[in-house]
Amino acid sequence: YKLIELNGRFNFLRPGTTVVDLGAAPGGWTQVVLETLSDPATNQSSEIVALDILDMDPLPGVDMMIHDFMADDAPKMLRSKLPYGADLVLSDMAPALTGHSPTDHLRIMTVVEAAYLFACEVLTQDGCFVAKVFQGGTEQDLLAEMKKRFRSVKHAKPPSSRAESTEIYVVAQGFRHA
C-alpha cells in the first residue's frame, strides 16, 4: 500500500517507464509496479529490474537479480541491464537494525546514499528517485545534493505506514544531469 499511496500523491508510475527496484524482496513493490505499468490500452512496454539479497518468487516480465546492492559489483551489474538508463529508481532497502537509533540512522543513510549515487548514474532526464529513510530526516548534506540534481525533493509518510514506525520516504522528481 505504501507505494500505491506514494504514487497516488506524486504520480511517478506511468506506462513505458523503466524501473529499478532496489531491496525488492519479498516482491510487493515490484508487483505494484508491474500491475500499475501493465496497461494494454497504451501499448507502451515498461522494463522492470528488481534486486535484493534475498530470494524472490519470479514475476513475468521482471528481470530479477539476487545480489547484495552494497557489493562493489552490484551497480555495474544493474547498469548492464539498463542500456538506456532508468526513469525511476525505487529503494525500499533497509540495513540490519540494532535498535540503537543513532546507529540505525547511520546505517540507513549509508544505504540511501549508495542508492542515490546509483540513481544519479542511471536516471534519464526528469527521472525520479524514491527511497526509504528514517525520521530524524535525511542528512542535510544529502538533501542539499539532491536539491541540486532534482527539480523537487519532498519527504512523505504514507498513511499505511504504522504511526509508531520511524520510516518515511524521500521522493525526488525531475532529475537533471550535471
Active site residues: 132
- Residue burial 40-63, b: 16+ Cβ < 10 Å; e: rest: eeeeeebbbbbbbeeebeebeebe
Q: How far apart are CA 33 and CA 115, in angstroms?
A: 18
Closest among 82, 90, 91, 79 to 12, alpha carbons compared = 90
Q: How far apart are CA 124 and CA 153, in angstroms?
A: 17
